[in-house]
Structure 1
Amino acid sequence: MNVLDLIRAAGPLLWVLLLLSVYVVYLVAVRAQVLSRLGRDAGALIERARAVTAESGPAAALAEIDRAAHPSPAVSVLRAGLSRADRGVDAATSAMQGALIVEEDRLYTGLSALGTAAQVAPLLGLLGTVIGMVRSFLVFSQTTAPTPEQLATGISEALINTAGGLIVAIVAYVARGALRARADRIATQAERVREELPGWLRRPEVSLSFDDMLPGGVRR
C-alpha cells in the first residue's frame, strides 16, 4: 500500500489534517525567518550607544543607532527611549515600555496559532478514529460474515487519522516551544535595555538636552 492508497483509505478528514499540516509548516517557516532577522546580535551597538550617551549625550547616541538601522527589538526599545530623553528619564522609560509592548507583539505573533493547531490536530485525529470505527461496526450490521477486507477499511481510516493528528500536533507543539524560546531570548535583551537606559541618563555628566546638537548628533 503506497501513500496515495493510505490517503484514500483514511477518508476525507485526512485532507483537513493535511491542510492543517501545510499551515503549520508555513507558519513555522515564516516565524523562524522573522525571528532570525530580529535576533541579530545587538550587543555591540548597544554598548556603543552607551558609550556615546556618556560622552556626547542621547542625541548623538540616537544618531548612531539610526545610522546602524539594526532590526533588533532591543535597538527599537533603545531608540524609543533615547528619542524622549530630552523630556526626562520618566518620559524615556514610558516610551520604552510602549515600544517593548509593540516588539513583544512582533516576537510572539503566530505562536498562539501554533498552540491552537497542536490542540486541534489530535481532536481531528480522534474524530477520524471514531468515524472509522463506526464504519467498521456498520459492516457488522450490514453483513452477517464480514471479510477482513471489509473491516480493514474502517480500521485503516481510524488508525491513519489518529497517526496523522498526532504527527501534526507533535510538530506544532515542538516548533512552538522552540520559537517561543527564541523569542524569549530576544525579548530578554530588549527588557535589559529598558532597565539599563534610565541609569545611563541619570549620570551627572550626561546632558539630556537636544538643543546643542547639530543634525547627525554632533555637538555644536
Structure 2
Amino acid sequence: MFGFTELQEFLARGGPVLLAIMAATFVMWALILERLFYFRLAHNSVAEEALSEWRSRSDRKSTYAHWVKDKIVSEVRQKAQANVGFTKALVALAPLLGLLGTVTGMVTVFDYMAITDGADAKAMSRGVSQATIPTMAGMVASISGILFTSGMDRKVSRLVQQLEDEMEIG
C-alpha cells in the first residue's frame, strides 16, 4: 500500500516544483468535484426557479420581456459556469509547472556534472529524476483535468439550452 513515507520520498525525488503541482492538482480537483456536486444537487432548483420567474410574467412577447429572458438565462449560465474558468486555468498551469520542474531538474544535473566532472552518476540520476517526475505529474494532472473541463463545458451548454427551450415552450 502506498503510504505517507512513500509519498514523501516521491515528492523529494520530484523536487520542490512537484509540491506546487500537487497543490494545483488538489485545488483543480476540488473545483471539479464542486461543479459535479452543483450539477447533481443544485442546478435543477436554479433552473426551476428561473423557469418559474419567467412563467410568472404575463408579458412574454415584448422586447423588454426578451431582455428579461436573456437576463434570466445569463444568470443561470453564470451560476453553472462558476469556477470553470479557474479550473481551466489550473489545467493549463499543470504542464507549465511540469516544464518548470524539468528545467530546475536539468539545472541540478548540470550542477552535479560541474561539481563532479560527470563522475557521480548517482547524483546526476537524482537530477534527472527531479526533471522527469514533475513533467509526468504535470501532464497527468492536465490530462485528467481536460477530460472533466471539456465535459463541464458541454454540460453547461446543454443545460442552458434546455432552459432556453423550456422558456420558449412555456
- Does TM-score exceed 0.5, indicating one fold? yes
Q: 1:32 aligns with which of 33, 36, 58?
A: 36
CA displacement at 1:26 relative to structure 2: 0.7
Q: Report the Cα distance in structure 2 between the residues aligned to 1:177 and 1:88, rounded to whole angstroms.
A: 34
- Residue matched to 2:7: 3
Question: What is the TM-score normalised by the length of structure 2?
Answer: 0.88
User: Does the 8 A contact of 2:28 with 2:91 survive in 1?
Assistant: no
Give the direction of change, closer, same or farther, for the CA distance of 1:88–1:11 in structure 2 (3 Å limit).
closer
CA displacement at 1:88 relative to structure 2: 5.4
User: Does the 8 A contact of 1:83 with 1:92 survive in 2?
Assistant: no
Unaligned runs of at least 5 residues, structure 1: 41-70, 198-220
Q: 2:133 aligns with which of 149, 160, 164?
A: 160
The amino acid across from 2:15 in the alignment is: G
The amino acid across from 2:108 in the alignment is: R
Q: Greater shift after overlay, 93-102 or 119-128?
A: 93-102
CA displacement at 1:3 relative to structure 2: 3.4
- Residue matched to 2:61: 89
Q: Report the Cα distance in structure 2 between the residues aligned to 1:11 and 1:166, rounded to whole angstroms.
A: 16
CA displacement at 1:113 relative to structure 2: 1.1
Give the direction of change, closer, same or farther, for the CA distance of 1:88–1:124 in structure 2 (3 Å limit).
closer
Give the direction of change, closer, same or farther, for the CA distance of 1:111–1:145 in structure 2 (3 Å limit).
closer
Give the direction of change, closer, same or farther, for the CA distance of 1:97–1:11 in structure 2 (3 Å limit).
same
More helix by percentage: 2
How many residue pairs get aligned? The number is 165
% of aligned pairs identical?
Answer: 21
The amino acid across from 1:12 in the alignment is: P
SS of the residue 1:109 aligns to? coil
CA displacement at 1:182 relative to structure 2: 1.9
User: Does the 8 A contact of 2:46 with 2:76 survive in 1?
Assistant: no
- Residue matched to 2:112: 139
Give the direction of change, closer, same or farther, for the CA distance of 1:88–1:128 in structure 2 (3 Å limit).
closer
Q: 1:17 aligns with which of 18, 21, 24?
A: 21
CA displacement at 1:147 relative to structure 2: 1.8
Q: Report the Cα distance in structure 1 between the residues aligned to 2:10 and 2:120, rounded to whole angstroms.
A: 19
Q: 1:113 aligns with which of 86, 89, 105?
A: 86
Q: Report the Cα distance in structure 2 between the residues aligned to 1:88 and 1:103, rounded to whole angstroms.
A: 18
